């Protein structure tokens, strides 16, 4: 719905006259007061206008309507209702039908627009949920009040945020079901979609504090306080233009590594065991065209559950252990085990060997320290088990990104920034739904969820 400047100008001129009259009474009013007054005036105008639009929408009234039970509903009267919209409370009148043996009533206008008395409209729901994925629910309520000029309850923010997450979960469920349907997979073969020449995937995990069990149906013992939320991301990579490069990009160039950046990130997440999360990895991979991409590259840390899933579902993928996790192992050894007088030179030498893909040298150095520390033994095992995934010289030569910062950023944005706020405790469903809603927003899928929410009101 769009309006031209010519259509709006007469209304704006009338509006300006009203504001000028107000300014004549308060000639020293600051611009902030003028802006606030205009917002309040426009809000009242929006309430009245939306109420009139809804009340005047029904052009024709039928005497009877079919009922969902198979009976007939009889026209009763024009009935008043109120909903909470982006303008605040809106009153409107619409035709109401009842009289069926089943005892149910119906207002066709409400069904058409997804309205229900005492509930929020779809437009307001989208704003409320968006605030909920960005801020704690209590803070969202106060933040929204500053923008909307009216308050919604903390419970409304929670419900709408979680409901958007539920819509995303339902979308993912449909994708998982389709990923195992022969008809769907055959249709994909008949109608191929363009795929990126090189598609990246990354997986990671971050822990969320879970409250004592009560309404949470999860069967785990009540004494468990933390659960891992697994986070994944599909993305493509492009070179950072020279004009956009920052000092860290130039440092990489000095080390012989092209400055790369992730693009078109699509996040997915869930508190789930690895075998359950695997279905989501496969289904989202289909959506990202992973099975059609000429080359799939996974850049992850050394967690065993990650590489087990990658090797099972994407056995042809290039596997790379994130450079920074590998380097961190050496830094920890230099700090905690190596003689302080030689630690700096030791670290520089081993970092260079690792960068050049000389894993035998790195492994021998760790094994030499093994009698002194269990940490060194673990490091030797880590490098030995992941040697093929740490051929950084070869990976750089082929232009691969070797850092998993994309999914780590996803963990921070989805889990740390939203779910791990000070004092926050979650039930598993609420944590999953809020995280999924936030992942959808970060991935650019918000408009899809808004479209699904249009006809699904929730109580204030």
User: Whole-angstrom Cα distance, residue 134 to residue 414?
Assistant: 9
| Overall pTM > 0.85 | yes
pLDDT tens for 190-225 read 887 889 999 999 999 999 999 866 555 555 555 568
Q: What is the pLDDT of residue 459?
A: 47
DSSP H or E segment with residue 76: strand 72-85
* Residue whose structure tokens are 């992730």: 262
The band of 370, judged by pLDDT with boundaries at 50, 70 and 90, is very high
The band of 342, judged by pLDDT with boundaries at 50, 70 and 90, is very high
Average pLDDT over residues 360-372: 94
Q: Are 132 and 144 in contact (CB under 8 A)?
A: no
More confident residue, 455 or 284: 284
pLDDT at 405 over 60: yes
* Residue whose structure tokens are 């009242």: 44
Q: What is the pLDDT of residue 218?
A: 58
Other C-beta atoms closer than 10 Å to the C-beta of 28 total 6
Burial class (CB in 10 A: 0-12, 13-18, 19+), 35: exposed
Per domain, the residue ranges of the chain are: 70-118, 196-411
pLDDT tens for 327-336 read 999 999 999 9
More confident residue, 426 or 4: 426
Q: Report the sign of the C-alpha dihedral through residues 40, 46, 51, 56, in that order.
A: positive
Q: Are 160 and 457 in contact (CB under 8 A)?
A: no
DSSP H or E segment with residue 198: strand 198-209
Average pLDDT over residues 41-67: 92
Percentage of the chain lying above the pLDDT 90 cut: 72
Q: Are 441 and 133 in contact (CB under 8 A)?
A: yes
């Amino acid at each position: 719905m769009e309006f031209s400047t010519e259509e709006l100008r007469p209304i704006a001129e009338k509006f300006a006259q009203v504001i000028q009259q107000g300014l004549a009474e308060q000639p020293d009013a600051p611009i902030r007061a003028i802006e606030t007054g205009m917002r309040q005036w426009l809000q009242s105008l929006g309430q009245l206008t939306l109420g009139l639009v809804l009340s005047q929408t029904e052009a024709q009234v039928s005497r009877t309507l079919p009922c969902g039970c198979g009976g007939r509903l009889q026209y009763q009267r024009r009935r008043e209702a109120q909903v909470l919209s982006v303008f605040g409370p809106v009153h409107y009148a619409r035709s109401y039908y009842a009289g069926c043996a089943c005892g149910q009533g119906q207002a066709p206008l409400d069904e058409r627009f997804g309205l229900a008395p005492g509930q929020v409209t779809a437009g307001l729901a989208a704003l409320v949920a968006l605030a909920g994925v960005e801020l704690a629910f209590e803070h969202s309520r106060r933040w929204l009040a500053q923008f909307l000029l009216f308050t919604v309850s903390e419970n409304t923010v929670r419900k709408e945020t979680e409901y958007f997450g539920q819509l995303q979960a339902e979308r993912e469920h449909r994708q998982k079901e389709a990923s195992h349907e022969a008809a769907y997979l055959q249709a994909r073969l008949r109608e191929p979609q363009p795929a990126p020449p090189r598609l990246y995937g990354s997986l990671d995990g971050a822990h969320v504090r879970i409250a004592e069990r009560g309404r949470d149906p999860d069967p785990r013992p009540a004494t468990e306080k933390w659960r891992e939320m697994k986070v994944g991301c599909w993305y493509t990579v492009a070179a950072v233009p020279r004009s956009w490069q920052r000092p860290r990009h130039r440092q990489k160039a000095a080390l012989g590594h092209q400055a790369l950046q992730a693009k078109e990130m699509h996040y997915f997440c869930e508190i789930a065991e690895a075998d359950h999360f695997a279905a989501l990895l496969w289904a989202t991979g289909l959506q990202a065209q992973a099975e059609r991409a000429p080359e799939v590259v996974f850049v992850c840390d050394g967690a065993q559950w990650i590489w087990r899933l990658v090797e099972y579902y994407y056995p042809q993928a290039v596997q790379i252990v994130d450079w920074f996790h590998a380097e961190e192992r050496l830094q920890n050894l230099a700090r905690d085990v190596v003689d302080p007088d030689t630690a700096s030179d030791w670290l520089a030498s081993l970092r260079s060997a690792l960068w050049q893909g000389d894993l035998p040298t790195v492994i021998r150095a760790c094994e030499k320290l093994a009698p002194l520390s269990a940490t060194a033994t673990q490091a030797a095992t880590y490098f030995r088990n992941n040697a093929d995934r740490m051929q950084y010289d070869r990976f750089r030569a082929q232009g691969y990104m070797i850092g998993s910062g994309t999914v780590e950023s996803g963990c921070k944005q989805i889990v740390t920034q939203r779910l791990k706020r000070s004092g926050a405790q979650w039930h598993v469903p609420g944590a999953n739904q809020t995280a999924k809603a936030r992942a959808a927003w970060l991935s650019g899928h918000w408009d899809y969820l808004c479209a699904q929410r249009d006809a699904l009101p929730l109580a204030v």
